[in-house]
Amino acid sequence: MLEITKEFRNVLKSAGSVAVLTGAGISAESGVPTFRGEEGLWKKFRAEELASVDGFMSNPELVWEWYMFRRNIINSVSPNPGHYALAEMEKLFDNFTLITQNVDGLHKLSGSENIFELHGNILKNKCFECGKPYTEEIDPESGEHPNCECGGKVRPDVVWFGEMLPEAAINGAFEAASRAELFFSVGTSALVQPAASMPIIAKQGGAYLVEVNLEPTPLTDVADCSFLGKSGEILPQIVEILKSEKVG
């Protein structure tokens, strides 16, 4: 069983408002590749080269191929115990907000409800030129991106580097972070802004900050408590402790 400090135990018991930020690491145990580290390279390209307006403009076929590759993976995987633990945690607190950088939809599939998706959804498409949603079915084997009725190229409905995040999601997430009494950062390298500033905002607002990640990140020294390991193993144990505290 996971060893936790008395302080963390007390916060788990008393926190009324809880927020969680997740990143690619929470879906790694489902088989979804992360962005950084050795696992993160696709055909030797870095996420920054592919998930950007410049990347799409200079080589739309390559970027489209990367998204079709990832969509095929995401369509074939399921939530893991880390996702289910957060869905269960939502039911155990009066006020719970899940903020995710992930575009794979696995949190919704696992039963989480109050979610802000900061970087969009990979299974949706829109026009690169006019922004209109593109809802036609796309052949997963097709190597070419379709075109919108305006002639613009179709792209995934996700947020690339240099683009603004959806306003409602970013506002809701910052609001939840600033009022959180307990904040978890899970499976994220905590490098990409503005998501990376949310744990800091929470901490500055008085939240107890807990990190769950396979390896240390820039947040590790700032966190009140850091668990280095797999989220699919650590989060279910935190939920078990939480349940025993709520009963006891």
Our CB check for Zn ion shows the closer of 66 and 128 to be: 128
Our CB check for Zn ion shows the closer of 57 and 130 to be: 130
CA distance 192 to 21: 12
Our CB check for ligand BJW shows the closer of 13 and 228 to be: 228
CB 25 within 8 A of CB 186: yes
| 22-61 exposure pattern, b = at least 16 Cβ within 10 A, e = fewer | bbbbbbbbbebbbbbeeeeebeebebebbbbeebbeeebe
CB of 154 to Zn ion, least distance (A): 8
Find the catalytic residue in 83, 107, 119, 145.
119
Known active-site residue 83: no
CA distance 130 to 72: 26
CA distance 114 to 119: 16
Residue 191 lies near Zn ion (rule: CB under 5 A): no
How many residues appear in the chain?
248
Contact residues for ligand BJW, defined by CB under 6 A = 23-25, 28-29, 34-36, 40, 47, 51, 101, 103, 119, 122, 158-165, 187-189, 191-194, 213-215, 217, 230-232
Q: Which residue in the block uniquely carries the two structure tokens 């088989």?
A: 31
CB of 51 to ligand BJW, least distance (A): 4
Residue 192 lies near Zn ion (rule: CB under 5 A): no
For residue 191, count other CB atoms closer than 10 A to its CB.
Answer: 13
Contact pick of 150, 163, 206, 216 for Zn ion (by CB under 5 A)? 150
Contact pick of 40, 60, 152, 172 for Zn ion (by CB under 5 A)? 152
Q: Which residues are the active-site residues?
A: 119
| Residues in touch with Zn ion (CB under 5 A) | 127, 129-130, 132, 148, 150, 152
